[in-house]
Amino acid sequence: MLTINRLDDIVEIDFSGPRIDSVVAPQLKVELEQAVVDAPKRIVLDLSAVEFMDSTGLGVFVSLLKKLGADGAIAVAGVRPAVLRLFQLTRLDTLFRIVDDVPAARALVRG
């Protein structure tokens, strides 16, 4: 489900599945938590392959953000229309930093 690329200062996480929903959310939460153990707290999430996400999937990302703590940063790249709609309806587009692509996300979390 995930491809994880650890750079020196960033963890890039690429989601391969087309749906992040209640079917996959529990396993996804476990994998994400493992991905950020002893890793940089700057995270890039590439959602370009994700066509649909529900509030359970969104809750996994909220959990990840909380786990990173105050000095953590997450940028979300490649958000497709249905997923962007979810972020906007829940107003979490104000909490997560959403950008067009992975290079922009890298630049954003690097500050």
Partner 1 sequence: MTSPRQERWCVADVSCSCEATFAGVRLLAERLKAWCATAGVSEPARMDLELALVEAGNNIVRHGYGQKGGDDIGLEITAVAGGVELVLTDRGSPIPQGRLNAIGHPEFDSESGRGLALITACTDRIAYTESREGNRLVLFKALC
Q: Name which of 26 and 103 has its Cβ closer to partner 1.
A: 26
Q: Name which of 2 and 56 has its Cβ closer to partner 1.
A: 56
Query: Which residues face 19 on adjacent strands?
Result: 52
Name the minimum Å distance from CB 47 to partner 1: 15
Range 88-107, binding partner 1 (CB under 8 A): 89-92, 95
Is-contact 55 48, C-beta < 8 A?
no
Range 7-66, binding partner 1 (CB under 8 A): 19, 21-23, 52, 54-56, 58-60, 62-63, 65-66
Contacts of 109 (CB under 8 A, 6+ apart): 10, 42, 43, 44, 73, 74, 75, 97
Binding range to partner 1, per CB under 8 A, among 4-12, 37-45, 78-86, 99-107: 78-86
Query: Which residues face 12 on adjacent strands?
Result: 5, 44
